[in-house]
Amino acid sequence: MPREIHPTAIVHPDAVIGEDVYIGPYCIVEKHVTLGDGCWLQHHVTICGPSTIGRQNKFYAYTSIGQQTQDLKYSAEPTYLEVGDHNVFREFCTVNRGTLPEAKTVVGSHNNFLAYAHIAHDCIVGNHVIFSNNGTLAGHVIVEDHVILGGLTAVHQFCRLGKHVITGGCSKIVQDCVPFTIVDGNPARTRSINQVGMQRHGYTDEQVASIRQAYKVLFRSKLNMTQAVEKLGEGDVTPEVAHMISFVAQSQRGIVGA
């Protein structure tokens, strides 16, 4: 369809609007915003800049995207938001720009953010991620691909969620979540591997078995994390286990325990 902008919408003349974009009633698109081809803004959507939004993104009513960071250190320097393609932001979602000069918040592609989800300043969110209602990230959080955030999950600043992690509803995450695991509770604990999630994404029985064995070494043995990582690194390891080892070894906040 051709570009369509409702007469009640306010679009800054310097905003860059792609082809086949729909901007509905009472939306606001500010200066220094780029909207890629095929984006759809339902109504009462606000997009602030500097923000670069990719192609085919859908923004439902009352989303607020690219607002300045809520970090009190911010001093009006130019900071940024980058959003990929084919994302869905449901009602009242909020995404903030980075904090320090030239810093940016990054959201990947093919993600689904349900109502009231929040992505704070300086976060990096991967691809094919689902945030259930009220899923909330504090600043500087890293979320790898295929993560599912349960409803009302809150993630502390500087935490990391490894790929294929799923969190239970109302979980409180204050440390890093090892890839391929299920994390649940307040305070959160690592409960098991995300076997169903991996099977749905085509992981073989052999891959799942290797991850399960690594999980047992990390969380069910009497070894501490340093010893467990050393043991897992002995001999040949699968790419999945290698990723788990690297993730744990690089942790700054510690690992959500079992």
Task: Kindly state the tokens that stand for 223.
Answer: 């070894």
Whole-number Å distance between alpha carbons of 258 and 184? 10
Q: Are 152 and 135 in contact (CB under 8 A)?
A: yes
Q: Are 220 and 212 in contact (CB under 8 A)?
A: no
| 121 is an active site residue | yes
Distances (CA, A) of 213 to 120, 133, 222, 244: 35, 33, 14, 12
Name the catalytic one among 71, 122, 176, 184.
Answer: 122
By DSSP bridging, strand 51-53 and strand 33-35 are: parallel
| 139 is an active site residue | yes
| 257 is an active site residue | no
Distances (CA, A) of 99 to 64, 68, 106, 117: 17, 8, 13, 20
Q: Are 48 and 59 in contact (CB under 8 A)?
A: no
Name the catalytic one among 24, 66, 135, 139.
Answer: 139
- Candidates 160, 179, 161, 174; CA nearest to 245 is 179
Name the catalytic one among 36, 85, 108, 121.
Answer: 121
By DSSP bridging, strand 188-193 and strand 181-185 are: antiparallel
Active site residues: 121-122, 139
